[in-house]
A = this chain, B = another copy of it.
Amino acid sequence: MRVLVIGGNGFIGSRLMLALRDRGDSVIVVDRFPARTDVDWHEVRYLQADFHDHDVLDEVLPGVQQVYHSASCTVPSTADADPVLDIQGNLLGTHALLAAMRRHGVRRICYFSSGGTVYGNPQAIPVAESHPLAPISSYGIVKVAVERYLGMFQRQGWLDPVVVRPSNPYGPGQAVDGAQGAVAVFLGRALTGQGVQVWGDGETVRDYIFIDDLIRLTLLAADSACGAAFNAGSGVGTSLNDLCDRVRRGTGQALVAEYREGRAFDVRAIVLDVSRAWRELGWAPKVDIDTGIQLTWQALITT
């Protein structure tokens, strides 16, 4: 079938593009950056454009059966520094995308929300999808607003949304010098023999999900008739200090941690309850953190 991947040049988007292309879909990618050179774009139509560009959307949407929306013009730190940009680019931008889908009668959208920010500081962990959405950062506020609008348009009867809330995805293809992705950044530093900066005391707990597990869940969710939100995590919490140790053991490299002051927009601990995806989609994560570190490390040292 014909599918559109918004943000298909990103870490998640590019892996998703590959999975869709390889299963035989006709894939169109819209991304504001030039196509990355480390993946094979064979048979994929690539448009470098803003995803909220009406003309581009009107050109690519006819005949599309599924839209995957993984674009964001912010990460948590830049969103908090400039909430107006976050709202304009991500909230209003997504409205433009949804309005274009409506014009063309395209109903199915799989939206990448954020398991790490929509719940705020969870009342208990692991946190299920039914937990109140109580974001404390601009990134999370905007993600929640988009989710609410998706639900509203679903009730209005013209949209079939499904939401994936990834925790912290990692794996081959993630930028080692990016603003997100502790596993990739740590491995990149291990490769070059540099130390890492850790915000806070290193006991911040996150739920790292291997990219292949996330992509598998995404396809199952989009292909299902489900209209719910799905947590996409490993279900296991790992502190930054623990992650450092695992990277040291997995790579055999020294990795010196330098501690910096904590950031206001970081929640203390987040681990996702992923049992809904098991119950409704038969999905469970397959790659544990040590295996995932190995797979990512091997990809890194052979490129």
A83 → B minimal CB distance (Å) = 6
Q: How many angstroms from the CA of A92 to the CA of B265 in the assembled complex? A: 20
Pick from B87, B138, B151: contact of A92, CB below 8 A: B87
Q: Does A132 touch B at the CB level, under 8 Å?
A: yes
Q: Does A1 contact B (CB under 8 A)?
A: no
Q: Which residues of chain B have C-beta atoms less than 8 A from A264's C-beta?
A: 155-156
A80, B132: Cα distance in complex, Å: 23
Candidates B83, B95, B133; contact of A134 at CB < 8 Å: B133
Q: Which residues of B contact A272 (CB under 8 A)?
A: none
The interface bits of chain A over 133-177 (1 if a CB of B lies within 8 angstroms of the residue's CB, else 0) are 111111001101100110110011000000000000000000000
Which chain B positions have C-beta within 8 A of A78? none
Expressed in whole angstroms, the Cα–Cα distance for A137 and B156 within the complex equals: 11
- Given known A92-B87, A95-B87, contact A141–B132 (CB-CB < 8 A): no
- Count how many chain A residues have C-beta atoms less than 8 Å from C-beta atoms of the other chain: 27
Given contacts A88-B92, A264-B155, contact A149 B145 (CB under 8 A): no
Measured CA separation A18–B302 after assembly (Å): 73
Within 8 A of B (CB), among A230-245: none
8 A Cβ contacts from A108-152 to B: 132-138, 141-142, 144-145, 148-149, 151-152
Q: Among B84, B133, B137, B145, which residue has its beta carbon within 8 angstroms of that of A132? A: B133
A141 touches B134 (CB 8 A): no
Residues of B within 8 A of A151 (CB): 136
CA distance A151 to B137 in the complex (A): 9
When distances are taken between beta carbons in the complex, the residues of chain B under 8 Å from A156 are: 264
Nearest-CB residue, chain B, relative to A146:
B141
Instruction: Judge whether A91 is part of the interface by a CB distance below 8 angstroms.
Output: yes
Neighbouring B residues of A136 by C-beta, 8 Å? 148, 151-152, 155
Residues of chain B within 8 A of A88, CB atoms compared: 92
9 contacts between A and B (CB under 8 A): A80-B152, A83-B149, A84-B92, A87-B87, A136-B151, A136-B152, A141-B145, A144-B145, A156-B264
